[in-house]
């Protein structure tokens, strides 16, 4: 399971920034400041602190002519082990705690004719034959895309579904890619005028020019 709670050592403003980031992963520092209700400089410092705690990571903006696009910040959940699963639960009980083994009288030996399996029964296959491996079982691992490959995949999906409004997480499941990487690709398509941001909380995108 994932842990979205803030560490106790964080300041109130940093906890607010973490909560806003969990709801709006892929947003800029200015957007996080607005959602968290804190100042822009405070949000920038808070995000850097969260980055040092490994609770956030950023995708640096790209140079767009004379200016540079803002960095995008993404939430990094912390994986935790459920309380009911622990090393102690899996460890065998000490020898002293195990129930004593009592000796039982040996069972009377069966006649050889009763214990021997019938020849015809032994010749028959035991149980159904194993099924052939499914396509999902034999599917190769997701290949690493070339630079710009994911952005092209995302754009082709939008182009194929021009009227559909997609969220980064739902599109990531469809493409079997990281939600953070898909959110970054959508943000870049928006910056390049190829996609429109049509909603917030959660962020929704659509092919540009469909309004």
**Average pLDDT for 190-209:** 85
Closest CA to 172 of 199, 154, 188, 156: 154
**CATH number of this structure's domain 2-79:** 1.10.10.10
User: Residues spanned by CATH 1.10.10.10 within the chain?
Assistant: 2-79, 149-207
Each residue's pLDDT tens digit, 188-197: 888 888 888 8
Going by pLDDT thresholds of 50, 70 and 90, the confidence category of residue 116 is: very low
Q: How far apart are CA 166 and CA 32, in angstroms?
A: 21
pLDDT of residue 133: 40
pLDDT of residue 38: 93
Residues 6+ apart with CB under 8 A from 61: 68, 69, 70, 71, 72
pLDDT of residue 106: 55
**Average pLDDT for 75-89:** 54
Q: How far apart are CA 168 and CA 32, in angstroms?
A: 17
Does the domain spanning 149-207 belong to CATH 1.10.10.10? Answer: yes
pLDDT of residue 191: 87
Asked whether 14 and 6 are in contact (CB, 8 A), the reply is yes
Q: How far apart are CA 162 and CA 31, in angstroms?
A: 26
pLDDT of residue 15: 92
pTM confidence score: 0.36
């Amino acid at each position: 399971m994932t842990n979205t709670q803030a560490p106790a050592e964080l300041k109130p403003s940093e906890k607010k920034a973490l909560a806003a980031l969990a709801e709006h992963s892929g947003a800029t520092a200015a957007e996080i400041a607005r959602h968290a209700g804190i100042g822009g400089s405070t949000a920038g410092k808070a995000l850097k602190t969260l980055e040092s705690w490994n609770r956030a990571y950023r995708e640096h903006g790209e140079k767009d002519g004379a200016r540079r696009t803002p960095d995008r910040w993404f939430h990094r959940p912390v994986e935790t082990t459920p309380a009911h699963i622990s090393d102690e639960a899996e460890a065998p009980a000490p020898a002293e705690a195990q129930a004593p083994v009592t000796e039982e009288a040996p069972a009377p030996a069966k006649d050889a004719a009763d214990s021997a399996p019938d020849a015809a029964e032994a010749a028959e296959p035991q149980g159904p034959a194993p099924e052939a491996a499914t396509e999902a079982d034999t599917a190769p691992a997701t290949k690493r895309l070339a630079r710009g490959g994911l952005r092209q995949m995302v754009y082709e999906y939008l182009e194929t579904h021009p009227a559909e409004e997609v969220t980064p997480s739902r599109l990531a499941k469809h493409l079997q890619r990281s939600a953070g990487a898909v959110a970054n690709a959508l943000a870049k398509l928006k910056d390049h005028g190829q996609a429109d941001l049509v909603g917030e909380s959660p962020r929704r995108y659509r092919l540009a020019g469909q309004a």
